[in-house]
Structure 1
């Protein structure tokens, strides 16, 4: 059972609303909803009466809340005892540039809750460079986006924890309507991540298959800045779907329905083998936070 899902239930019960629970947990309200739905599916019980406004716990939800408080208390005591029994070296985490906007904040919050006294060192870079530092024991774990499988790195522990979908966005007054082929965008300029980004690689490959190349208007990191430039008409963007909905520029943008381009990359947790128990515990909480933010694993583009 995912402890972060239990924390969402407890937060809703104690604050009285999804919005206040999201504020307490420092996550989005949709992320709270996903965690509750996942917990309901695992317990095979309806925990929240959504017909009432605001939603209230059902009888099963009240019971799950009381038992969940006990479970979380025991887990926190276990983590505290584990932390106090071991030295606390820096926890060194690498996060792929392509997903830093999506998971950096929730990841840091999750690790801080688990190892509040430890120094946290976060490095943002390409996945391949981070993995090289991991192999050289300069990092403890990497959250990366990559193609391939765990068999590619037999010397490391890898597991697929989530997937991230990206969409093509344009200025709100862009003339494209309905479902369109990628080739119809071949002459468009793009505001996009620098070369080496997995999403950009997928777009490059898809355009090449139509006999075209990627025309770049602006190349830079940062989803917020990219969307602001797209809203001003500097080109099309390719960004995580979740971040478009949350963007302050969303009313000045529209998502294009591209029939033959669906980009989704696997998000992996990559760690050295035989890591310390305290580090393993922190990584488990980090994984739960990322899954809670991005949603469960889905098929990724090859």
Structure 2
């Protein structure tokens, strides 16, 4: 009905169907059908067609006044929705591989700009977060995808590096080596398995540990090789650890931000979080 009301207002301003058609732009028959449709919906005659050109009837003038009020209210509502400060509960999922102080600081900084938002942040494996997002349990999910993922939802690349006990004597890369990894379905572990190919470097898991600090301690004690984000290793490795270079092993993942199509006011906060996380990855990488 809004389109029909707008056409009525234009008719009152222009004085003829022909001029209204030119402004919209529509054909004259299309404008005539809109006017007739509005008359049918309101069950009243709006135009006195005995006059040339037609003129608004008394009922038409009354509907015109109300139409202007309705359209003004709709525009005011649009402006309110667009400019209103984001508020309410924002449910965000973050992949385990990204749950470090750097990313946490980026999210906290972005959320702080919206004091009326109550943040609900949870971590999980990307597959789990994706399922929860699809079920509508999350408003936003920042997950990890294969390196070849393309699309507007990609925030940047997360590169992983291999770490080992400092001073450890590593044998030929063709000899299977033990690993200290997170449990399945860890995104980094899946990427490692894909990169090794299984034939050149069979994946031997010496220990499954989810906590990153405990993983590094196991690696430091020489129980196997480990993985960590290169952006964190670039700051300096903890004592007792060293980087390992395995040729032809690409351990890259795409960081992807999934956004609900029903964010409304929360959209500004979600976009701010996505932007700051993307910047943190690029700066740290």
Match of 2:227 in 1: 238
Task: Compute the displacement of 1:295 (Å).
Answer: 0.4
**Which runs of structure 2 are paired with 1:14-53 in the superposition (5 Å)?**
none
Task: Compute the displacement of 1:104 (Å).
Answer: 4.2
Task: Compute the displacement of 1:284 (Å).
Answer: 2.0
Residue 160 (structure 1) aligned with residue 154 (structure 2): yes
Residue 268 (structure 1) aligned with residue 268 (structure 2): no
Match of 1:283 in 2: 270
Question: 1-side partners of 2:198 and 2:134: how far apart?
Answer: 35
Match of 2:111 in 1: 112
From the superposition, tell whether residues 283 and 87 of structure 1 become closer, same or farther in structure 2 (CA, over 3 Å).
Answer: closer
Match of 1:101 in 2: 100
Q: Structure 1: 5+ residue runs without aligned partners? A: 1-80, 152-157
Match of 1:170 in 2: 164
Q: Structure 2: 5+ residue runs without aligned partners? A: 1-79
Question: 2-side partners of 1:171 and 1:260: how far apart?
Answer: 21
From the superposition, tell whether residues 95 and 83 of structure 1 become closer, same or farther in structure 2 (CA, over 3 Å).
Answer: farther
* TM-score between the two structures when normalised by the length of structure 2: 0.63
Match of 1:226 in 2: 215
From the superposition, tell whether residues 222 and 243 of structure 1 become closer, same or farther in structure 2 (CA, over 3 Å).
Answer: farther
SS of residue in 2 equivalent to 1:258: coil
SS of residue in 1 equivalent to 2:271: helix
From the superposition, tell whether residues 171 and 297 of structure 1 become closer, same or farther in structure 2 (CA, over 3 Å).
Answer: closer
From the superposition, tell whether residues 236 and 229 of structure 1 become closer, same or farther in structure 2 (CA, over 3 Å).
Answer: same
* One of 245, 251, 260 as aligned partner of 1:257: 245
* TM-score between the two structures when normalised by the length of structure 1: 0.60
SS of residue in 2 equivalent to 1:139: coil
Question: 2-side partners of 1:274 and 1:145: how far apart?
Answer: 22
SS of residue in 1 equivalent to 2:279: helix
Deviation track 1:212-238 (CA, whole Å, cap 9, x = no partner) reads 532112212232221122111121101
Equivalent pairs, count: 205
Deviation track 1:110-146 (CA, whole Å, cap 9, x = no partner) reads 3332222321101111222212222222111100001
Match of 2:135 in 1: 136
CA contact (8 A) 1:169 1:236 kept: yes
Match of 1:293 in 2: 280
SS of residue in 2 equivalent to 1:242: helix
Question: 1-side partners of 2:155 and 2:86: how far apart?
Answer: 28
Greater C-alpha radius of gyration:
2
Question: 2-side partners of 1:203 and 1:113: how far apart?
Answer: 36
Question: 2-side partners of 1:215 and 1:209: how far apart?
Answer: 10
